[in-house]
Amino acid sequence: MTDPSTPPTCYRHPDRVTGLSCSRCGRPICVEDSIDAPVGQICPECAKTGGTQRVVRARQITGRPTFQTAPVSFTIIAVTAIIWILGFVAPAVGDALFRNLAMANFLVASGEWWRIFTAALLHAGITHIGFNMYALYLFGPRLEQQVGSPAFAAFYVAAAGAGGAASYAFGAPSQVSIGASGAIFGLLGAWMFVAWKMRNTPGGRRMFRELFILLAINAALPLLIPNIDWRAHAGGFLGGVLIAALWSRFAVGSRNAVAVRTAVAVTVAIASVAVVLVV
């Protein structure tokens, strides 16, 4: 009898822990063996047989995420938390990190374009980092399990960059901002696109309504709380929607879906740098 506490492993690669399963036969599959279908993923054997029906298994969307199933998400949370703790217990270190990583528009204008990405590692306080990392915990691991860790890592960086580029393009030259909100709104944008694609199903409509309410609340916060960089939020959100749309267009049905998704996200990240350099 299989121990229910033991995480499932890919049936083709028993050494790989996975949170995915074939939406047709139900066998556990790793990202490398996952082939995108119109809904869910299928294993290579089921892909050969064709067919149009798809079933989403409950275990694809339930269960607590772990480092084994979403290593990039948990690594980002850990690194971001460590950086904040270092800045809290050693103010001199925090000041140095702020000087070198913060999104300062006048420094970006002088050529330090990488700040549109590195600002996502910094946070102003416990509430700021707590909200962003909790949101990453809620939305990140599921997306990572669906698209693969390399693609998710590229997505997070690209969404952060899109938020930073928007903040730079439409913000004041003296503006300085920090936080992972651009990347978090990118995740929200990606899930909004998924919900929109599933809008003809009861679950998709419910997901879209819930995400829309969450988006509306967050969009209203800059009106109530000063110093929130809404430009980064908008840029990250639009970047997330764009990447998800391109994934849907070019990765679905591809046998190299993870590589395609990664390339798409990297291209969006490069485009964000190009916007900064041109503006």
Active site residues: 181, 233
- Contact 271/242 with Cβ under 8 angstroms? no
CA 15 to chain centre: 26
Name the region of 227 (left: φ>0; alpha: ψ -120 to 50; beta: rest).
left
Q: Which residues contact 260 (CB under 8 A, 6 or more apart)?
A: 247, 250, 251, 254
Cα angle 20, 26, 30 (rounded to 5 degrees) comes to 30
Gap between the Cα atoms of 228 and 53, Å rounded: 45
- Residue 238 CB: number of other CB atoms within 10 A? 17
Q: Which residues contact 247 (CB under 8 A, 6 or more apart)?
A: 147, 151, 260, 261, 264
| Residue 104: strand pairing partners | 176
| Residue 20: strand pairing partners | 29
